[in-house]
A and B are shown apart, each in its own frame.
Chain A
Amino acid sequence: TQLLEQSPQFLSIQEGENLTVYCNSSSVFSSLQWYRQEPGEGPVLLVTVVTGGEVKKLKRLTFQFGDARKDSSLHITAAQPGDTGLYLCAGVGSSNTGKLIFGQGTTLQVKP
């Protein structure tokens, strides 16, 4: 069974601080996605990383896929209150079952 472990589970920081969220597995994924979910809404896709070692930037957010395609990280620079939410990583299994395997999520609170 493929599993994704996210850390930390909770993060409470001040506006302007930097943070990193990790997503790790012992399994290889063909691609990995990062979502953000706000209360009362469904997750919204932020980015998909496909190639080992790939780095993608989305404004102040930097996403990296591990060389072995078993792990990923999300780094936020100068966090703002608008970044508050639940961040989820999700992997598409290399066995190509077509289903997404989600990590437990990281709840981020950015205080003004």
Chain B
Amino acid sequence: KAGVTQTPRYLIKTRGQQVTLSCSPISGHRSVSWYQQTPGQGLQFLFEYFSETQRNKGNFPGRFSGRQFSNSRSEMNVSTLELGDSALYLCASSLGHVSVYEQYFGPGTRLTVT
């Protein structure tokens, strides 16, 4: 069974630009969560989608948004990029609620904002 895939793996953007990251979950998984990982803040929850609906949201500004498609694939978008948005963005998929089902993480997208 293929794992969680994220594209692109590496991305360099300039301040003020916007970026879209993509995540393909494991086949059959309907829940997709996004996390931001930085050396200073660690792993922080961005949002979770389940069956195309945002179910949970972390404490990030409105510049961070996401969506999920009918095939469970998910995208996250960051508008008006800031230097502090440089991070590893991780996507995780699961069959359902994280308290019951294991989350499987993708390898992440390394975003660098210059």
A residues near B (Cβ < 8 Å) are 30-31, 40-45, 48, 88, 90, 92, 96-105
Q: When the two chains form their complex, are residues A42 and B105 in contact, meaning their CB atoms are under 8 A apart?
A: yes
A48 vs B33: C-alpha distance in the bound complex, in angstroms?
Answer: 18
A45 in contact with B102 given A98-B56, A99-B48 (CB within 8 Å): yes
Q: List the B side residues contacting A104 at CB < 8 Å.
A: 42
B residues near A (Cβ < 8 Å) are 4, 33, 35, 42-45, 48, 55-56, 58, 90, 92, 97-99, 102-108
Q: Which of A40, A41, A45, A96 makes the CB contact (< 8 A) with B103?
A: A45
Tell me the nearest residue of chain B to A92, going by C-beta: B99
A54 vs chain B, min Cβ distance (A): 15
Q: List the B side residues contacting A92 at CB < 8 Å.
A: 98-99
Q: List the B side residues contacting A96 at CB < 8 Å.
A: 99
Q: When the two chains form their complex, are residues A100 and B105 in contact, meaning their CB atoms are under 8 A apart?
A: no
Q: When the two chains form their complex, are residues A98 and B98 in contact, meaning their CB atoms are under 8 A apart?
A: yes
B109 vs chain A, min Cβ distance (A): 11
Q: When the two chains form their complex, are residues A100 and B103 in contact, meaning their CB atoms are under 8 A apart?
A: yes
Q: List the A side residues contacting B99 at CB < 8 Å.
A: 30-31, 92, 96, 98
Tell me the nearest residue of chain A to B4, going by C-beta: A42
Q: When the two chains form their complex, are residues A42 and B108 in contact, meaning their CB atoms are under 8 A apart?
A: yes
B24 vs chain A, min Cβ distance (A): 13
Q: When the two chains form their complex, are residues B42 and A42 in contact, meaning their CB atoms are under 8 A apart?
A: no
Q: List the A side residues contacting B45 at CB < 8 Å.
A: 99-102
